[in-house]
Structure 1
């Protein structure tokens, strides 16, 4: 049935034309924008995913800037620590030269002072954008990543850069404490004796060391005193024990063994030592008739120094250890993060030596249990009384952490004693600067690796976003031509459909 009121063919053709025009409009939009998903109305799921990824790309681009800033800051600190190491090695060369007696120590000291000032200048100038990693102890975080979990939560990840304090700052204890750490450092004696010591560590005279009784006229004796041999053949000693002991004492004293002396006390050989840091073993072998009697065939002479043993325990930032001597020397060491008892022992030694008391000598070593030991000796006319204070800082922030080059200001080679102390301590300072450079070098390598990874990650994200929302222009171009043809055909079809009612007029002619 035909109707002049309702043209079904025209309506179908019109709907077809509208559909083609809509598709053509979308295709032209993809060609002009280059995207197949331009807004949420195009594909809400894909659009949402792409926007999250685009947000992550922006974040990672900011992280790249953070890593670049951190890398530059660490590079400055690394250069500074390497320069400080070189300067310390130069100071070591001057200290070695000062070991000779026929040199001008005053001029050498002037060179050392100049190098020390240069180290201070390097440490003070080693900043990038106001951040100096070779001063202070507070760690610095460099933003390195944004981690997105399955539920959409985002957490920031950081690369921690440990500051390496290369200042000469002397430490000071805090006023408040949470823990008394005095039990961590044990002294063999609170009194550091200036006198020679016996095998029991007491001052001479004391009980006998090796007693002689009987007839030694046909005996042979061979003494070994810390590696030095003194022998007596059969017939060289008197039959009287007291006279034999006197002959032995005279011979040993005449040998002038460094730091060793012996006294004859009515037939008793009383050995004494002024060796500060060396235990001496004295042994005797008896031969010949062996008619005489020895009370001992071997004794040990202890070192004159008193030992301060630090317990093998963890050291926390802010832990402070202080040894005060009655003569006025006060040594304080406050640990920074990541340090050990070795650092504490060597730091206390450097602080004592930096005081400049020529009568006080120090040595750091390890005992058989692996504990670090600070040995202190005095050659002064009076004994020294040691007082120990050790506390954990309460977090008030008033404790001053000891700088990694503390003791450098106290290096003085103008005397032979000062030159000896300086040679011992410069190695510790050099090792501290080397450790600082190694730490910065390690973290710089990590930052560089992370920066390269973030750059590759951003490229991957961009590629992924493109695969989701970018239009395939080859396909879109072909579709455009097809739609243009369909548009022409739909227009023609609509025109034909609109002509159909005209045929009805022929029926009324």
Structure 2
């Protein structure tokens, strides 16, 4: 039966067309965005996981960038320490030569003073990211010789953890502008290091070496003062104060030069320990950067698995839906024409 009031065929055709258009809109969105999950409405569970992973990737990227900056600071300090050790080696060579009775110690001292200035310049200019770890002022407000460097970001359930690795700059502090000194010579890394220098530098005969722990004397490796005594007139000197130009060939003077040589050599050994710490830290940060990038790549892959559209499938579906849309339009047109056909009966 054909009704002029109710066209059931047209209603079915229209409903079919609406469904096809809705599916076509969804597929078009998948194709245009490249994602099958664009919001929580498309799949709450997958969208939530993907959003969390995306957020974690942002945090991992920030940690990776921070590690890059920290590694630059570590590498700069490492280069500075290596340069200082190289200059100290030249000073040691000149001091060793000064033990000979036939050398011009005044000329040797000129070279030694030049190398000391070279070390000062190196330490003062080893600046990275606005920070200097070789030339410091421990009396400055907020100073902290321990640097906590970002090294990781991890998530366990809903709990996130930002990890760090610490490095004690006291193991390679070259200069300290503080006039108050640090501790008593036994509590901090630097205190222990300069005490080790004095212990290693003790001359078996002629001159003994101890650390001067009075205020303003216990500082960096180059400006910590040592008491050099024994048969020679006791004196308190830092490496920056060493002067062989006025020393003669007496046993006391030669013992003092030997003390100089041993202090410089022991200082080099301690700074090399600091350089090892820096090198190890740099390697660790480099490894953590690589690992952080691996995590970012894995998260990105997981996000893609969860929300990315299968473009081959979506392309095929799009063509099919476009064809269905055309057929649905034709079907609706046919359904609507049935009423017009009835009109011919009244002509």
Matched, 1:167 2:193: no
* 1:84–1:119 contact (8 Å) kept in structure 2: yes
Measure the CA separation in 2 of the matches of 1:111 and 1:505. 118
Measure the CA separation in 2 of the matches of 1:56 and 1:6. 58
Matched, 1:453 2:285: no
Matched, 1:411 2:228: no
What pairs up with 1:90-101 in 2 under 5 angstroms?
90-101=90-101
* 1:171–1:401 contact (8 Å) kept in structure 2: no
Which stretches of structure 1, 4 residues or longer, exceed 6 Å deviation after superposition?
170-174, 506-509
Shift of 1:360: 7.6
- The runs of 5 or more residues in structure 1 that have no matched partner are 175-317, 321-332, 354-358, 364-373, 377-387, 391-397
**More relative contact order, 1 or 2 (CA 8 Å, 6+ apart):** 2
What pairs up with 1:343-382 in 2 under 5 angstroms?
343-344=194-195, 346-347=197-198, 361-362=207-208
* 1:168–1:409 contact (8 Å) kept in structure 2: no
Measure the CA separation in 1 of the matches of 2:310 and 2:42. 15
- SS of equivalent residue, structure 1 residue 99: coil
Partner of 2:151: 144
Partner of 1:402: 219
TM-score, normalising length from structure 1?
Answer: 0.56
Partner of 1:473: 311
TM-score, normalising length from structure 2?
Answer: 0.80
Shift of 1:44: 2.4
Q: Deviations over 1:197-223 (max 9, x none)?
A: xxxxxxxxxxxxxxxxxxxxxxxxxxx
Partner of 2:164: 158
What pairs up with 1:105-504 in 2 under 5 angstroms?
105-136=105-136, 138-150=145-157, 152-163=158-169, 164-169=171-176, 319-320=183-184, 333=185, 335-337=187-189, 340=192, 343-344=194-195, 346-347=197-198, 361-362=207-208, 402-405=219-222, 406=224, 407-413=238-244, 414=247, 415-502=253-340
* 2:151–2:163 contact (8 Å) kept in structure 1: yes
Q: Deviations over 1:354-389 (max 9, x none)?
A: xxxxx98316xxxxxxxxxx7x9xxxxxxxxxxx99
Shift of 1:496: 2.4
Task: Flag the structure with higher strand content.
Answer: 1
- The runs of 5 or more residues in structure 2 that have no matched partner are 137-143, 225-237, 248-252
Measure the CA separation in 2 of the matches of 1:458 and 1:41. 26
* 1:172–1:401 contact (8 Å) kept in structure 2: no
Q: Deviations over 1:307-329 (max 9, x none)?
A: xxxxxxxxxxx651xxxxxxxxx
